[in-house]
Amino acid sequence: MSNLVTLPKNGSLTKKDNMSNFPSLSSWFNDFGFNEFPSLFSTNFNTGITLPKVNIKDEADAFIVEMAVPGLKKQDFNINLDNNTLAISTELKDENETEKDNYTRREFGYSSFKRSFVLPDSVDNDNIKANYNDGILTVTLPKREEAKQKPARNIKIS
């Protein structure tokens, strides 16, 4: 359902030039120990939430998508289906203001993520269901009747 790309340890797409003896810029950063810092150089630190981990199970009668997103409420999610593309997203805004004798303290935060999955034609789009329990969002994508796995049977020879 999704394409996976293997990236080097630091997430860079920079390749080492085999024709020269100089290492790539990304390997220099590894040599200087920048990989010891908490992923500051390889993630989008502006979003506030990293992309949640997803498990996709292919069962006999449905695909099951499980997404680990603890600390949210079910009303925080937005799940859309558009042209066989399932999009799961959330956007959280937090503002706090404290007023004391001679100062005001304001804090605000913004967090969001969006994961998209292209669904196969075998999914019954009209019967998709979602459930959020104990920090796990589960989306059940039932298969069309003709796509469901049939049980094994013995065929008699005539």
**Euclidean distance between the first and final Cα of the chain, in Å?**
42
At 32-52, the pLDDT tens digits run 444 444 444 444 444 455 788
Contact criterion met (CB below 8 Å) for 31 and 23: yes
CA distances to 6, 56, 60, 124 from 148, in Å? 31, 17, 6, 11
Instruction: Please write the tens of the pLDDT for every residue from 128-137.
Output: 999 999 999 9
Most confident option among 47-56, 61-70, 98-107: 61-70
pTM (predicted TM-score): 0.59
Under 8 Å between Cβ of 67 and 56:
no
Quickly tell me which residue has 């999610």 as its tokens: 77
108 within 8 A of 95, measured Cβ to Cβ: yes
Mean pLDDT of the chain: 75
Confidence of residue 92 (pLDDT cuts 50, 70, 90): confident
**Where do the structural domains in the chain lie, given as residue ranges?**
14-43, 45-146
The CATH architecture annotation of domain 45-146 reads: Sandwich (2.60)
**DSSP state letter for 143:** B
The one-letter amino acid code at 130 reads: A
